[in-house]
Amino acid sequence: MPGMSLYGLLNTGLLGVYTAKSAMSVVGHNIANANTPGFSRQRPEIVSTPSLPMNTLTQTSAPMQFGTGSKIEDIKRVRDQFLDIQYRQTNNRVSYWDNIYGNMHYVEQLFGEPGETGIRNLFDNLWGAMQELSSDPTNEGAKGQIVSRADELANTLKDLDFRLSQLQEDFNTEIGNRVVEINNYFKRITDLNGKIRSIKVSGSSPNDLLDERDRILDQLSELADIHVNHYSSGDISIRIGDRTLLNGNTYQELKAYTVPGTKGFYNIFANNNPVKFNDGKMAALFELRDSIVPQYRGKIDEFAITLADTMNLVHEEGFDGSGSITGAQFFKDIGTNKETEMSRLYRIASTFRTHLNNPEVNLLSSNRKFNAGSLSDIQLLRDATLVAIDSSNTPPANSVNISSALAGNGLDEFNTNFTENLFSYNTSEDLLTFENSGGNPLSEKMIIDVDKSFLNDYGFNTKSVSAYRIEQSDIESGIVNFNIDGSNITINLDGSSADNFVSSINNAPSNNFIRAFRHDGAVYISATERVENGDISNIVFDDPDGAFSSMNIQEKEVDVLDFSNPPMRNIYGGDPQLEINGIGIDINLDTDTIDDVVNKINSSNTGVSAFITPNGRFVLKGSQSIDMDLRNSTIKGSVGFFNALGITNNTTDPANTKMTLVSPDMNLDSINSTLKNADILKLDPEIGIVNKLSVVDGIRNNPSNIAIDLGRFDYTTGEFEFTGPNNPSVWEELANIKDTPLLNDGKDGFNGFLSNLIAEMGIRGETANKMHLNSKALNDQIDIERERVKGVSIDEEMSNMIKYQQAFNASARVVTAVDEMLNKVVNSLGIVGR
Amino acid sequence: MRVTSNLMNTQALNDIQNVLRRYGKLNEQLTTGKKVRYPSDNATVAARVSDLDSRIREVQRYKSNISLARSYTDMYDSSLQEMSSIYQRVKELSVRGANDSLSDEDRQAIVTEIDKINDHMKSLANSQVSGKYIYGGAESDKAPVDKNGEIQTSPKANIKKSVSVGGYKVDYGLTVYDVFTTNSGTSVFKHLDRMKDAIASGNNNAIDREMGAIEDIQRSALKGLAEVGGNDRLLELSESRMEDFEQFNTEFLSKESDADLAKVLTDLSMQQVVMQSALKTTAKIIPPTLVDFL
């Protein structure tokens, strides 16, 4: 039968009906799921059924293709995979920054800065209490206040550290929980993979399952930075970092194992290989737990350790108000209780004043440059007279040595009259020095510049003291006496001539305390180095016959050479060979003082810092950049140099041997033996040293025991002596630590440290907030684009519905028409006239 | 470009969220009165606020240091004034005592008075405040002078009290060495003793000599007064400078940290308008679909 049969036509109509009906069901499904989260709209793929080639009556040779209707080949969902990838990437970022910001905000609330309860305010209060005690050193209330302020600060720091460590534990628990969640997701995805694959094999699209899988992937992308690979079989594989964790039907379960040595902190493993998260909530949790919060705990530790050790080092040099207690610490020992190979070596201090080992000063240098050819080329601007007094020289007449020089003459003129001390000038180094050339060291003499016309101007360190000046015409005979150092000295003044007057004073029995000399038409009386500060106004004379008083004595200020901070050559004459981390520290023995050495070490940027305590002990410390552990650096120098500094007492090796003080290669035993003569402080390796910060019980229970006075050094006894309860030198020194750069690798004082901490916290939080808002905006935008593609538009579905409904009606009409045609054929075909 | 109703909803919601967030921030400023509450609000401002807070506390501490010091200088001032007038009296007595025609009784009367004056000087030297000897230097627990007129304060305790102001030290203390000894190092108490003996024995030469010493001491009392006055003036200047510092810093702090309420209120009302219009249009945005019309 040529052409399409009626039954074929019927079939075509029927197919049209089926198509329309199925399409309608897709529309219905879309509308019902318009608000289902994660739903992608579905679209029927309507295709024509294959056409039949048929011969017709009119064309017998070339068959015509007759269409046979339509069918729905597949219902596909409309989804842009690329947008999904983008969305998941930005979702990573949003989740990461959200978690970082949220927790940083919590941390900054804990710190409470800026505010009344913050560390800064408490530290300022402690400093204020130090100032109060400095102004009023015998006020017992002020002593109590220092203790309570220190306690407040310590408790707040400890509380803060506790809360931060709690926060770390919370992060850890959260990590454990999220790992379980990830594993669940993996399980569901592998299930879905199996189902999707089997449906795809049979040729259709498992749309709702695909949607479900995408929903899970979206949620996963919040937690971790997943990379998804799609396969044509319908499977996916998921990769985190460089580890493929899920592939088709199988996945590697993530396990959380605790790391030994931490407090039960988890690390994530899959198949015994570690998994590293680079983005998303997991990455944020790890970074917070392992990097960000420990950094803040580390800063609290640095603050506490530096405060405790610095205050202790200064406090233990002081005497309490009664002068009977010294060597006491203010804070309890923060050192380690059990030494292990991992202990940190924080601080090395000498046990005595640097100059004590060799208290003799034999060389002083000028800090001026002269650019002269020789000593004689350096000329005096004014007449000058220098007097060298050494009370231990015998006979007493030899104890006064006067040397004058006139303006315009060279400095070598002084040397012609000096017997024991000489000026020298080194042309190549442009260095003017004054040196002991025989006899007692300079530190046991008084070198007086009577007219204050030379020493200070020419670059020598001087101090002002008083001396007495009597006109020659005013001298008289008489008797004076004075008490000093427990003995009573009587002097029979001989007023017959100036020379006799002078020798009567100088030759007086047991008189090691005052000396007289003639200068400029007058007689001068000066104290010797045996008197406090070399200042004659510290002697109270008893003048029974009034002779002294009637001599019209003038108190005159003179300059005296100050040898309290001498060049290093006086401490150690050999080559120090000081080297830190391979960088040599160059020390000029003739011009650098111990303070200069400290400055050079601090500016060497090696993480090793130095300072000198008020009573002259040399201290080395490890800074934050080397984890407050000197064992992370290598310090070398000569044996003699370290001996002179008081850190070692090595009598076996020659002084110029270069030795290693500390290095990472030395084990604990060898460090302990090298530094056995030093006062060292070792810390536990873990964070949280702040928990040992606490005021010593002896002081907390009785604040009167606080050290007040640093004392003054007595060169004759070689010890520090108590000066009195009203001299708050301990607290004057400690009040300076507010701004002394002891923290942040020697860049900030406590004040600057706290300021930086607040700024850094603020910047981190501000950045996290901004990044969060930015990435959220981007993520929202991408989500909107996704929605554009996959979202159900009611209008569209409505118009589709109309479309399919009309198509249904029309196809139904075709069936009706064919039915009538069949009726005609069956019942009416071939009946003519019946 | 395809637009679905979900899309319109989400966008509208996001925008309302943004407005609400701005609104919330402004509200927080209004209720706390501060522009910056946490460092993450604005790191540089927060750090500056913290620094200023700290500096203001520091300045207040210096101010109280200064007022303590000035209370001491007041005490020194009044005791030095008293001494000055005492010396005047001593000179009068010495002049009278140098008169050869004085009777024994009169002589004795002068001697007694000078003795009393000496005792008074010793108690002046031993002045105490709150149990501390103000002329004792570092040994504020020991009387500077004993009843025989011997100076007990050791030379190593001869340290002037100082106060820390703005990072530098101002010496304001005086010790027994500064005020009660002559330029030649003799103590005033011994001089008064010798003066007394000289008058008792009628030794006019000795009286002359001691008079010279007394005048010397009177001069150093006046010098001491001048020094105390100078210290006090320096402290006063420092005090007013600290007051100025405090004021500047407080103003600066307020400018940095306090919310400008007028601005906040204006912004707030503007955000309210924005929010209301956003809400209104959102209501309209939920559009009718084709469904309503079929």
- From CA B152, how far away is CA A135, in angstroms rounded? 24
- From CA A319, how far away is CA A726, in angstroms rounded? 11
Query: Quick check: B140 and A724 CB within 8 A?
Result: yes
Q: CB-based burial of residue A184 (10 Å sphere; 0-12 exposed, 13-18 middle, 19+ buried)?
A: exposed
User: Is residue B81 located within the same domain as residue B189?
Assistant: yes
User: Is residue B276 located within the same domain as residue B196?
Assistant: no
Asked whether residue A357 carries a pLDDT value surpassing 50, the answer given is: no
Residue with the two structure tokens 């090595």: A650
Any idea how long chain A is? 834
B162 pairs with which residues across the strands? B171
Give one word for A561, left, alpha or beta, with left for phi > 0 and alpha for psi -120 to 50.
beta
Predicted local distance difference test score (pLDDT) of residue A62? 82
Q: Which amino acid is at A687?
A: I
Query: Quick check: B47 and A554 CB within 8 A?
Result: no
A724 vs B4, B138, B210: nearest CB:
B138
- From CA B160, how far away is CA B153, in angstroms rounded? 13
DSSP annotation of A491: E
Predicted local distance difference test score (pLDDT) of residue A777? 93
Span A337-362, average pLDDT: 80
Asked whether residue B98 carries a pLDDT value surpassing 60, the answer given is: yes
Give the CA distances from residue B221 to residues A82, A491, B78, B183, in Å, rounded to whole numbers and listed in that order.
Answer: 95, 28, 11, 11
Interface of A with B in 555-574 (CB under 8 A): 555
Residues near A653 by Cβ (< 8 Å), separated by ≥ 6?
A639, A659
Query: Quick check: B159 and A727 CB within 8 A?
Result: yes
Q: Which amino acid is at A394?
A: T
Task: Report DSSP letters for A786-828, one per residue.
Answer: HHHHHSPPHHHHHHHHHHHHHHHHHHHHHHHHHHHHHHIIIII
Predicted local distance difference test score (pLDDT) of residue A330? 95
Q: What ipTM does this complex have?
A: 0.86
User: Is residue B106 located within the same domain as residue B221?
Assistant: yes
Predicted local distance difference test score (pLDDT) of residue A443? 79
Q: How many CB pairs under 8 A join A and B?
A: 242
With the CA atoms of B30, B36, B37 and B41 taken in that order, what torsion angle do they form, in degrees rounded to the nearest 10?
120
| Closest-CA distance of chain A to residue B104, Å | 23
Asked whether residue A260 carries a pLDDT value surpassing 50, the answer given is: yes
**Interface-testing mutation among B14, B168, B186, B256, with chain A (most A C-beta atoms within 10 A):** B186
A726 touches chain B (CB under 8 A): yes
| Closest-CA distance of chain B to residue A754, Å | 9
How does pLDDT run across A284-298, given as a tens digit for each residue?
A: 999 999 999 999 999
Predicted local distance difference test score (pLDDT) of residue A359? 65
A54 pairs with which residues across the strands? A64
Q: Which residues of A touch B158 (CB under 8 A)?
A: 532, 538
| Six-digit token string for B217 | 């001491």
DSSP annotation of A288: I
- Least confident window among A74-88, A163-177, A370-384: A370-384
| pLDDT bucket at A169, cuts 50 / 70 / 90 | very high
Q: How far is CA A686 from the centre of its chain?
A: 16
Residue A685's nearest CA partner among A262, A165, A157 is A262
Q: Which domain holds residue B174?
A: 77-253
Cβ(A480)–Cβ(A493) under 8 Å? yes
Cβ(A97)–Cβ(A768) under 8 Å? yes
User: Is residue B218 located within the same domain as residue B287?
Assistant: no
Q: Which residues of B touch A546 (CB under 8 A)?
A: 194, 206, 209-210, 213
> In chain A, which residue's Cα lies nearest the Cα of B214?
A549
Residues near A734 by Cβ (< 8 Å), separated by ≥ 6?
A130, A310, A311, A314, A315
Q: What is the CATH number of the domain that holds B245?
A: 1.20.1330.10
Q: Which residues of B touch A139 (CB under 8 A)?
A: 130
Query: Quick check: A759 and B43 CB within 8 A?
Result: yes
A783 touches chain B (CB under 8 A): yes
- From CA B77, how far away is CA B226, in angstroms rounded? 9
> Per-domain residue ranges for chain A?
6-78+799-828, 84-112+153-295, 363-561
Cβ(A789)–Cβ(B2) under 8 Å? yes
B57 vs A128, A709, A768: nearest CB:
A128
A724 vs B50, B157, B183: nearest CB:
B157
A449 pairs with which residues across the strands? A386, A559
Asked whether residue B192 carries a pLDDT value surpassing 90, the answer given is: no
With the CA atoms of A70, A71, A76 and A80 taken in that order, what torsion angle do they form, in degrees rounded to the nearest 10?
-20
Element (H, E) at A720: strand A719-721
> In chain B, which residue's Cα lies nearest the Cα of A469?
B184
**Which own/partner contact pairs does B192-198 have at CB distance under 8 Å and 24+ positions apart?**
B192/B90, B192/B114, B192/B117, B192/B118, B192/B121, B192/B149, B193/B118, B193/B149, B194/A543, B194/A544, B194/A546, B195/B90, B195/B94, B195/B114, B196/B111, B196/B114, B196/B115, B196/B118, B198/B97
Asked whether residue B162 carries a pLDDT value surpassing 90, the answer given is: no
**Interface-testing mutation among B4, B146, B252, with chain A (most A C-beta atoms within 10 A):** B4
Residue A576's nearest CA partner among A597, A559, A595, A551 is A597
| Closest-CA distance of chain A to residue B31, Å | 16
A544 touches chain B (CB under 8 A): yes
Query: Quick check: B54 and A542 CB within 8 A?
Result: no
User: Is residue B145 located within the same domain as residue B247?
Assistant: yes
Query: Quick check: A105 and B38 CB within 8 A?
Result: yes
Query: Quick check: B210 and A468 CB within 8 A?
Result: no
- Collapsed DSSP state (helix, strand, coil) of residue A275: coil
| Closest-CA distance of chain B to residue A720, Å | 11
Q: Which residues of B touch A531 (CB under 8 A)?
A: 155
Query: Quick check: B2 and A788 CB within 8 A?
Result: yes
Rounded percentage of chain B residues whose pLDDT exceeds 90? 18
**Interface-testing mutation among B183, B191, B214, B223, with chain A (most A C-beta atoms within 10 A):** B183
Interface of A with B in 459-488 (CB under 8 A): 468, 482-484
DSSP annotation of A59: -
Q: Where are the beta strands (DSSP E) in A508-657?
A: 514-519, 522-527, 541-542, 554-561, 579-580, 583-584, 608-612, 618-622, 635-638
Give the CA distances from residue A798 to residues A16, A437, A697, A802, in Å, rounded to whole numbers and listed in that order.
Answer: 20, 114, 84, 6
User: Is residue B288 located within the same domain as residue B166?
Assistant: no
Q: Give start and end residues of each alpha helix (H) in chain B.
A: 5-32, 43-97, 104-125, 176-179, 188-201, 204-257, 261-285
Cβ(B239)–Cβ(B63) under 8 Å? yes
Neighbour order of strands in the sheet with A635-638: A583-584, A579-580, A635-638, A658-662
User: Is residue B169 located within the same domain as residue B242?
Assistant: yes
Residue A512's nearest CA partner among A541, A484, A554, A472 is A484
Query: Quick check: B209 and A551 CB within 8 A?
Result: no
A31 touches chain B (CB under 8 A): no
Interface of A with B in 662-721 (CB under 8 A): 709, 712, 721
Query: Quick check: A532 and B49 CB within 8 A?
Result: no
Cβ(A121)–Cβ(B53) under 8 Å? yes
Residue A566's nearest CA partner among A596, A599, A537, A523 is A596
User: Is residue B100 located within the same domain as residue B238?
Assistant: yes
B182 vs A128, A549, A768: nearest CB:
A549
> In chain B, which residue's Cα lies nearest the Cα of A544?
B194
User: Is residue B131 located within the same domain as residue B227?
Assistant: yes
| pLDDT bucket at A354, cuts 50 / 70 / 90 | low
- Collapsed DSSP state (helix, strand, coil) of residue A575: coil
**Interface-testing mutation among B17, B54, B70, B133, with chain A (most A C-beta atoms within 10 A):** B54
A682 pairs with which residues across the strands? A345
Q: Residue A669 CB: number of other CB atoms within 10 A?
A: 10
User: Is residue B149 located within the same domain as residue B200?
Assistant: yes
With the CA atoms of A230, A231, A237 and A241 taken in that order, what torsion angle do they form, in degrees rounded to the nearest 10?
-60
Q: Which amino acid is at A338?
A: K
Query: Quick check: A131 and B164 CB within 8 A?
Result: yes
Q: Is B43 among the domain residues?
A: no
User: Is residue B203 located within the same domain as residue B279?
Assistant: no
Q: Which amino acid is at B265?
A: L
- Least confident window among A306-315, A708-717, A730-739, B119-128: A708-717
Q: Which residues of B99-115 are buried (b: 16+ CB within 10 A; e: fewer)?
A: eeebeeeebeebbeebe
Handedness of CA B170, B173, B178, B179 (dihedral sign): positive
Cβ(A798)–Cβ(B290) under 8 Å? yes
| Closest-CA distance of chain B to residue A375, Å | 39
Asked whether residue A221 carries a pLDDT value surpassing 90, the answer given is: yes
- From CA A387, how far away is CA A537, in angstroms rounded? 19
- From CA A378, how far away is CA A375, in angstroms rounded? 6
How does pLDDT run across A113-138, given as a tens digit for each residue?
A: 888 888 999 999 999 999 999 988 88
User: Is residue B116 located within the same domain as residue B237?
Assistant: yes
Q: Residue B70 CB: number of other CB atoms within 10 A?
A: 18
| Six-digit token string for A322 | 């009664």
Task: Report DSSP letters for A415-478, one per residue.
Answer: HHH-SSEEEEEETTTTEEEEEE-SSS-GGGSEEEETTSSSTTTTT--EEEEEEEEEEGGG---E
> Considering chain B, what is the average pLDDT of its residues?
86
> Between these two residues, B283 and A621, which has the higher pLDDT value?
A621
Q: Is B264 among the domain residues?
A: yes
How does pLDDT run across A785-825, given as a tens digit for each residue?
A: 998 999 998 888 999 999 999 999 999 999 999 889 888 88
Residues near A715 by Cβ (< 8 Å), separated by ≥ 6?
A359, A443, A444, A529
- From CA A114, how far away is CA A108, in angstroms rounded? 10
How does pLDDT run across A432-443, given as a tens digit for each residue?
A: 999 888 778 887
How does pLDDT run across B18-40, given as a tens digit for each residue?
A: 889 888 989 988 888 888 888 88
Query: Quick check: B164 and A726 CB within 8 A?
Result: no
| Closest-CA distance of chain A to residue B191, Å | 8
A114 vs B46, B69, B216: nearest CB:
B46
| Counted domains in chain B | 2
B5 vs A533, A539, A794: nearest CB:
A794
